[in-house]
Amino acid sequence: MKNTYQLLTLICLMLTGIISANAQTSTYYATHHNYQAVSVADGLIQPWSMAWLPSGEMLITEKPGRLRVVRDGQLLADAVSGVPEVYYQGQGGLFDVTPHPDFDDNQLLYLSFAKPTGGDGSTTAIVRGRFQNDRLTDVEEIFAANSVGRGHYGGRLAFDDDGYLFLSIGDRQAAPEGDLENHPAQDTSNHHGVVVRLNDDGSVPGDNPFVGDSDYEPAIWSYGHRSPQGLAFHPETGDLWESEHGPQGGDELNLIVAGNNYGWPVIGYGVNYGVGNPIHETTQRAGMEQPKHIWVPSIATSGLMVYTGDKFPDWYGDIFIGGLAGQQLAHIMLEDDFRTVDREETLLNGLGRVRDVRQGPDGYIYVAIDDRAGDDETSVIRLEPLQ
């Protein structure tokens, strides 16, 4: 009996060690809050964006052109019908999803995507439709950018408190060559490298900064962007924050102000891919905005979120930005004015390419992990605090 008791004790100790080891591998340490990563939805192909309906259902876009639903903790097997055809090549595909602020009343859902325009052409577009019974109906295109190119679609959507819809659009990979001041992202007669502001039906608000100026596309809110990847409003200030890919270095976190020029490719902090020679003659110029934070080398910034939940109270008001090439989640701590960057810490090192980060209605932080090639299934995970 004694030997049996000792054996059982040894087995219990071994199991405890295994459990402790497993718990340790799922534990992450960070400023103010330690946390663990818990899988929410597995078996996804290139998840790009996440959103929640008032009912608590979670929506996930997959870049190949599928909209998925997580209900009662389970990823539904069937994709939502009614999603438009997308241009799924290179950086193109299905991008963002967001419900209308009055979704309870109108059931309107908005999707951004790479729209095929014939041949190898494509542009960034928005559709809206009514989401009922796991189907999209009455789908209509409400906006299509007048910019065509190979990549740098942008595609992030954000509603402000007044019900205006904002969309990021990249420079479509127009090469920074020759006279940089004549680059398409500095040409305000098109939608290359801009953030646009729209009414919820896709029309242009009459108080946009360039309405009535024939040198500007009236939908433009800001311009001079390269590849804007994240877009979110700060609830304390109403400020619009944007994360942006630089080339080889020079990723940016920008505070977006109506009518301002953010400088690409005239100014910046990156260099040309591969060869490493400078693109810009200078990093600053009068009349062009400076980023609030930069990454050199590039982490390939992706989705952006402002945290306002109660699960991580010491992170309230901070900004979180995904990193694709960096395979990380950047935590940007702001000072008390919520406009000045204090410092940065790196979270989730090595878990995979972070495509999007969002706050769920439960106050937890959700992260979409992306496989670049689309060959492997990936997941959405939830960050939960450890007491």
Q: For residues 99 and 55, what is the distance between their CA atoms, to the nearest angstrom?
A: 12
Q: For residues 244 and 222, what is the distance between their CA atoms, to the nearest angstrom?
A: 13
Both tokens of 133, joined, read 């019974």
Number of residues written out for the chain: 387
Q: Tell me whether residue 293 is one of the annotated catalytic residues.
A: no
Compute how many other C-beta atoms are within 10 angstroms of the C-beta atom of residue 284.
10
Q: For residues 94 and 124, what is the distance between their CA atoms, to the nearest angstrom?
A: 10
Rg (CA), the chain: 22
Compute how many other C-beta atoms are within 10 angstroms of the C-beta atom of residue 348.
25
What single-letter DSSP state applies at residue 78? S
CB within 8 Å of 20: residues ≥ 6 apart = none
Compute how many other C-beta atoms are within 10 angstroms of the C-beta atom of residue 337.
8
Q: Are 228 and 185 in contact (CB under 8 A)?
A: no
Catalytic residue among 100, 152, 192, 234, which? 152
Q: For residues 12 and 299, what is the distance between their CA atoms, to the nearest angstrom?
A: 44
Q: For residues 287 and 257, what is the distance between their CA atoms, to the nearest angstrom?
A: 12
Task: List residues bridging with 116 in a β-sheet.
Answer: 122
**Percentages helix, strand, coil for the chain, rounded to the nearest 5?**
10, 40, 50
Both tokens of 350, joined, read 């090595």
326-332 LR contacts (CB < 8 Å, sep 24+): 326/295, 326/298, 326/299, 326/300, 327/351, 327/352, 327/353, 327/354, 328/299, 328/354, 329/354, 329/357, 329/367, 330/295, 330/299, 330/301, 331/30, 331/31, 332/253, 332/293
Q: Which SS3 state, helix, strand or coil, does residue 3 take?
A: helix
Q: For residues 230 and 223, what is the distance between their CA atoms, to the nearest angstrom?
A: 15
Any idea which residues carry the catalytic annotation?
Answer: 152
